[in-house]
């Protein structure tokens, strides 16, 4: 499989880009990698890149976007931060990826059993991590059940995963609210902004 070119990127639509990611995750789950020569792709992309998707995911070592979507060099922009939330710098990176570099879809990818989410559920405090976790706490507060405070912590994996899902939705809302550039592109049909959850137990990505 060759690296994307300006011509192949131009044929991409938001729907087609999303389908490419879904197909890639199916290959990943079935251990059927696309036939690609990565060194050849190094040469193909040496003078330019034409990726079709931007993925915002957690830094978790088990959730590499290139691997779980079976993509090669030059295929996707990968933005990673613990808890997969956005700030000014990440939004700026996304605006570059979509408006200037031509990607057609933004995927906010959460995952099950997320350590950053667990830290937010437990109100963990540790150096600079404290400030990071505070950015995820609105998602904790937005999950109404269970009401019993003794069940609203990292020992309740269902609660953790519900918070992770809520965090994805809230991150998507923040992208639209905080980036006029990306909001306009989505409204014009130039891009899609979607959420998804990666299951660390089986490698499956569920799109919302």
Q: Which residues are annotated as a binding site for Zn(2+)?
A: 58, 60, 111, 114
Closest CA to 7 of 39, 36, 57, 48: 48
Burial 178-192 (b: 16+ CB within 10 A, else e): ebeebeebbeeebbb
- DSSP letter (8 states) at residue 149: G
Beta strands, E only, 6-57: 53-57
How far is C-alpha 119 from the geometric centre of its chain's CA atoms? 19
Hey, CA dihedral for 40, 80, 107, 62, is it positive or negative?
Answer: positive
Q: Report the distance separating Cα 205 and Cα 25, nearest Å.
A: 7
Tokens coding 173? 């809302």
Ramachandran region of residue 84, left (φ > 0), alpha (ψ -120 to 50) or beta? left
Closest CA to 147 of 159, 157, 138: 159
Closest CA to 165 of 84, 50, 86: 84
Q: Which residue has the tokens 């150096």?
A: 127
Binding site per annotation, positions: 58, 60, 111, 114
């Amino acid at each position: 499989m060759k690296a994307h070119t300006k011509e192949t990127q131009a044929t991409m639509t938001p729907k087609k880009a999303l389908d490419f990611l879904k197909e890639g995750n199916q290959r990943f789950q079935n251990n059927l990698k696309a036939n690609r020569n990565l060194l050849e792709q190094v040469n193909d992309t040496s003078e330019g890149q034409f990726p079709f998707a931007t993925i915002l995911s957690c830094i978790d070592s088990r959730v590499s976007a290139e691997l779980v979507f079976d993509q090669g060099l030059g295929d996707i922009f990968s933005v990673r931060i613990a808890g997969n939330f956005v700030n000014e710098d990440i939004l700026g990176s996304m605006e570059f990826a979509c408006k200037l570099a031509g990607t057609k879809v933004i995927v906010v990818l959460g995952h099950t059993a997320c350590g950053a989410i667990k830290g937010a559920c437990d109100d963990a405090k540790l150096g600079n991590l404290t400030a990071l976790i505070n950015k995820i706490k609105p998602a904790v507060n937005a999950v109404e059940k269970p009401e019993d405070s003794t069940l609203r912590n990292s020992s309740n994996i269902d609660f953790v995963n519900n918070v992770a899902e809520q965090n994805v939705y809230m991150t998507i809302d923040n992208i639209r609210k905080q980036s006029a550039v990306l909001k306009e592109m989505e409204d014009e049909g130039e891009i899609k902004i979607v959420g998804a959850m990666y299951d660390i137990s089986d490698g499956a990505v569920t799109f919302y």
